[in-house]
Structure 1
Amino acid sequence: MKIAVLAPIAWRTPPRHYGPWEQMASNLTEGLAAAGIDVTLFATRDSITSGKLNTVIPKGYEEDREADAKVLECLHISNLMEQANQFDLIHNHYDFLPLTYSALIRTPVITTIHGFSSEKIIPVYQKYNASGYYVSISNSDRHPSLNYLSTVYNGLRTEEFDPGTGQGDYLLFFGRIHPDKGTAEAIQIALKAKRRLIIAGIVQDVNYFKEKVEPYLNDEITFIGAAGPEKRNQLLGGAIALLHPINFEEPFGLSVAEAMLCETPVIAFDRGAMRELIKDHETGFLVKNADEAVAAVEAINTIDRPGCRVWAMRNFSQKKMAEDYISLYHRILN
């Protein structure tokens, strides 16, 4: 079985700091390779994989702002599609655009839908509903008009996450600085709970950062920017809890699974996939608002930290994700 994995090209695969779709394309590729699958990753030239790498794009368009993203997209996707007959199956992690090639090739295309940027993209998915194979990353993130082959949760390289103790005695916000992610809400929770807060992530909305985050920064509320894998483990493991007060229906939430792998419980607003990721009162707390989050902070010592890791290892590992997808590949090809 020869599989082509089509990664996004905003960032390197795997990303240096941010790039969740690239991270999942990488984790899947490495999981397939470890399982003995003949896998080729289509990604940027600086990408790293133990499988084969096929590329025509030097570096991600978010890392080379002189590049034209649409031009790179066309070159990248067409490069794979023109070689489609060399593969038994194409696994698309690049959203809806590659679907527009799928009726022109014989190789089946399975698409992991990592979320919907807008209702406006749905017609493309609908057009290929009967011929494509769609996989959701959570049961909560399914569009009623689409047919799904299965749900496969994102899988992490569990060996890269170390158990922590929470002895840093701080709350952590770990994610992009954007209204959707609730950075401002995390600050208010920390202030009301009278706890130290560390904020880590890329600034995706500059005005939001300047208006809702920067005025509150001091010795107790600190912003450290993006954090790579080594810093990530230290931050997550040292936190008493991860604050995840999202303001949108989040399809998954990688930082939630990452925190639990570091034995750190999560306090999250009960939206999107949070009910699927968090066992309420066992690996964290699902809350409705900031006041409930403050109460959860006070009760955080009732959570068994090692139990958080056990839950995450069982449900959100790279190995499980790869096994689930290999099973789907066989269903499609047989």
Structure 2
Amino acid sequence: MLRILYIAYPLLTVSQQSAGGAEQMLWTLEHEMAVRGISTTVAASSGSQVSGELLITGEPSSQADDYERRNREHQDRILQWLHSGRQSFDLIHDKSGSFWPRAAEIDIPVLATLHLPRHFYPQHYFEDIPANVSFTCVSASQAASFVDLNNLMEVVSNGILLSQFEPNYGARAGLLWLGRICEEKGTHLALDIAARLDSPITLAGQVYPFSYHQQYFEKEIASRLRQMPKASFISSPSMEEKRKLLREAQALLIPALADETSSLVAMEAAASGTPVVAFSRGALPEVVKDGVTGLVVDEMEEAVEALGQIGKIKPEACAQHAQKSFSSGRMAEEHLRIYECICRHSSAQPRAAVPQGSF
């Protein structure tokens, strides 16, 4: 039986209620692995809720700009635990986005999922990569910018627990924006689109503990909400609230300003039978099937026009596509094949590169 250590993002807890995509994917993947009988441990902040064992590395942080301190504490406690020899692992799956540069300090193979666009990572992360590190990306468009990495495994696109979402084939009303509230997600543009159409909109999400996110919310979001009587705001919605919002919305807006590497909320919308209007950024055209699960546009004016055609997108087609494409079970099986491949090729240091496509 494989023994896997998952490493979470340091600032937040991991649970089914997590707002961040990386935290949601870690929870879902670890749950699927535990169901398959894999021995799982998750290194995360206290208060996290996981299927296997929880290795607590510290308290979640709500202080602005506390990332560097908390991340250092997080990584140091993981390494102390590993060096103590109290538990052994066949593989470490780094979902934190920052642990793998320290993989040279251990002799366990590390698989790092790259959740972000390349330019979001410090350049030095990709210099002198430890020999025991392999990488995987979450979309084809993202992987295209990492082709120079020697140990780049196959793309594993994200998946969701489809059983948690029930399609709505009945009445719907209002627009929805759902996610992490920050400028690159285009939250303010969603409000502007709704204002142009004089349409009700619900904004639901979480502001992360970074000063520039908090300043963005006060300057661009709170000010708009005060001027829009048809707009409502739900802070940090629960999973139950999120499912209800997705089922009842006329359409979900994703006016992203950065190149998205995936979109869990677009998958969840499709599983709920809800059409999406998304900007054509990064992997969004891979997730939103244009003309089937939504409409992909280039800018705000096109989004306004697209909403006038949104009735052409059928809830049945959305739900069928979600069932075919977005299963967390499929995601888990693909990861499991990569785990087994890496473990087969893992031997004494220095470790040879794992051949691409060898699983």
CA 1:96–1:71: 2 relative to 1, 3 Å:
closer
Post-superposition shift, 1:232? 0.3
CA contact (8 A) 2:251 2:274 kept: yes
Other-structure match for 2:325: 315
CA distance in 2, matches of 1:318, 1:53: 21
Post-superposition shift, 1:266? 0.7
Structure 2 residue 37 is matched with structure 1 residue 27: no
Equivalent residue for 1:262, pick from 258, 269, 272: 272
Other-structure match for 1:98: 100
TM-score by length of 1: 0.90
Quick check: 125-134 or 63-72, which moved more? 63-72
TM-score by length of 2: 0.85
CA distance in 2, matches of 1:184, 1:166: 29
Structure 2 residue 88 is matched with structure 1 residue 86: yes
Q: Deviations over 1:281-306 (max 9, x none)?
A: 11001101111111211111111212
Other-structure match for 2:139: 138
CA distance in 2, matches of 1:73, 1:169: 44
Matched position secondary structure for 1:103:
helix
Structure 2 residue 183 is matched with structure 1 residue 179: yes
CA distance in 1, matches of 2:302, 2:287: 19
Other-structure match for 1:202: 206
CA 1:222–1:123: 2 relative to 1, 3 Å:
same
CA distance in 2, matches of 1:310, 1:228: 25
CA contact (8 A) 1:251 1:272 kept: yes
Matched position secondary structure for 1:292:
helix
Which residue identity lines up with residue 323 of structure 1 in the other structure?
E
CA distance in 2, matches of 1:180, 1:166: 33
Other-structure match for 1:43: 44
Post-superposition shift, 1:111? 0.8
Unaligned runs of 5+ in 1: none
Equivalent residue for 1:162, pick from 140, 163, 166: 166
Q: Deviations over 1:236-270 (max 9, x none)?
A: 11001100001011111221111111111110000
Post-superposition shift, 1:128? 1.6
CA distance in 2, matches of 1:124, 1:249: 20
CA contact (8 A) 2:57 2:74 kept: no
Other-structure match for 2:341: 331
Aligned residue pairs, count: 332
CA contact (8 A) 1:250 1:273 kept: yes
Post-superposition shift, 1:181? 1.0
CA contact (8 A) 1:166 1:237 kept: no
Q: Deviations over 1:93-147 (max 9, x none)?
A: 12133332x2232221111111147456233234227542100011111334324
Other-structure match for 2:61: 61
CA 1:129–1:75: 2 relative to 1, 3 Å:
closer
Structure 2 residue 199 is matched with structure 1 residue 189: no
CA contact (8 A) 1:17 1:227 kept: no
CA distance in 2, matches of 1:207, 1:65: 12
Equivalent residue for 1:216, pick from 211, 216, 224: 224
CA contact (8 A) 1:175 1:201 kept: yes
Which residue identity lines up with residue 321 of structure 2 in the other structure?
W
CA contact (8 A) 1:3 1:37 kept: yes
Quick check: 66-75 or 178-187, which moved more? 66-75
Other-structure match for 2:239: 229
CA contact (8 A) 2:100 2:133 kept: no
CA distance in 2, matches of 1:166, 1:252: 28
Other-structure match for 1:121: 122
CA distance in 2, matches of 1:83, 1:260: 46
CA distance in 2, matches of 1:120, 1:302: 39
Other-structure match for 1:249: 259
